[in-house]
Structure 1
Amino acid sequence: MHYFWDPNGANLHLMQALDSTDRRILLALSSVARRSASAIAAALGMGRNTVQSRLSRLEGEVLDPMDRRIPPAALGFGLLSFVELHVQQRHLGTITEQLRQIPEVIEAHGLTGSADILVRVAAANAEELFRVHGRLLNIEGVQRADSALSMAELVPYRTTKLIEMSLGEHRSGAETAGNGQGRCGEPA
């Protein structure tokens, strides 16, 4: 079992650990997201019912909803900004609720370090971004906001390599260089 923060409620939840069957199914989905349960079952040599029941559980517990897969630029919001908020901690709950009310806020994370919250904002243009920045600064408890515009996505969000690594199918150069060590110092 693993704990994770629910992005919709900021509550700690318990999630069942993914076994190798779940990971193999996720790896198959990562190459073609809309594969049928039958196609995945055939590719992995598993029963369709097994794959279907696992997919149902994964869709409820692990896989992101469709809206998280849509790039904001495809909707006309091509300007991406990362905003570091410095806040009064006692207002964190209220600030989080206010962030949820701003449509251009597509993601927010609590941080360690000098900033308290990292907010990802999508805007159609600089004027709209300026307006959103003003809304962020007007939230009670926000003391300062520092923005950085994304010039290019250099490494897109991905988990395929992590899935492969967790299945032992991917090794870094150091692990294959003959040092005899696998992941986390385990014997290769």
Structure 2
Amino acid sequence: MARIDETDRKILIELQRDASQSLDDIAKAVGSSKTPVWTRIRKLREAGVIGAQTVELDAEALGFEACFFVLIRTSEHEADWQARFLKALRERPEVQEAHRLAGDIDYILKVRVKNARAYDAFYQALISEVKVHNVTALLSMEEIKSTTALPL
């Protein structure tokens, strides 16, 4: 785990809020000057604390109106099956998140598609590639909160 101090924490909060803001704006917000802030950001990147910077897109504005949470149970736990399953997930851009779980459900996926018909095409393609025991798809009716920000 990387050691971060209060100034690093403030910089990270600002970057999570809006990574497109200028170094001058970040420095002003954290009570520092531009060069030390740039140096800290570089060190945080090198330490792996800061990953790739991306742009947040509005899924609905782009026509991706359906978000499904897909619960998967499998009776397969061999390394070969897992490798094929992970490959299938990584190759599908519809899968925004995938988690292996403890408990009754083995995996949960967050799948973003244009509509129910597009989800069915995703589902049919997935089950044609890997054997699963049981799949339950839950349609999100409303996104109440979504963030990638960590509670620093």
Q: TM-score range by the shorter chain?
A: 0.7 to 0.9
User: Is 1:133 the counterpart of 2:123 in the alignment?
Assistant: yes
Alignment partner, residue 181 of structure 1? none
The CA deviation string for residues 54-106 of structure 1, in whole angstroms up to 9 with x for no partner, is: 22344563245315x22432322110000011121212222011111112112
CA contact (8 A) 1:137 1:145 kept: no
TM-score (norm 2): 0.83
Aligned partner of 2:28 among 42, 52, 56: 42
CA contact (8 A) 1:83 1:118 kept: yes
In structure 2, distance between residues paired with 1:49 and 1:100: 38
Aligned partner of 1:66 among 35, 43, 54: 54
Ranked by relative contact order (alpha carbons within 8 Å, sequence separation 6 or more), the top structure is: 2
User: Is 1:75 the counterpart of 2:65 in the alignment?
Assistant: no
User: Is 1:86 the counterpart of 2:73 in the alignment?
Assistant: yes
TM-score (norm 1): 0.69
Q: CA deviation at 1:137?
A: 2.0
In structure 1, distance between residues paired with 2:105 and 2:58: 26
In structure 1, distance between residues paired with 2:127 and 2:117: 15
**Partner of 2:38: helix, strand, or coil?**
helix
Alignment partner, residue 143 of structure 2? 153
CA 1:132 to 1:113, structure 2 compared with 1: closer, same or farther past 3 Å?
same
CA 1:141 to 1:50, structure 2 compared with 1: closer, same or farther past 3 Å?
farther
How many percent identity over aligned positions?
A: 29
The CA deviation string for residues 139-176 of structure 1, in whole angstroms up to 9 with x for no partner, is: 3242221100000011222536x12xxxxxxxxxxxxx
Letter aligned with residue 117 of structure 1 = Y
In structure 2, distance between residues paired with 1:118 and 1:150: 14
Letter aligned with residue 51 of structure 1 = V
Alignment partner, residue 25 of structure 1? 11
Q: Cα RMSD between the aligned structures?
A: 2.1
Q: Which runs of 5+ in 2 are unaligned?
A: none
Q: Which runs of 5+ in 1 are unaligned?
A: 2-15, 164-188
Q: CA deviation at 1:45?
A: 2.0
Letter aligned with residue 154 of structure 1 = I
Q: CA deviation at 1:123?
A: 0.8
Give the total of aligned pairs. 147
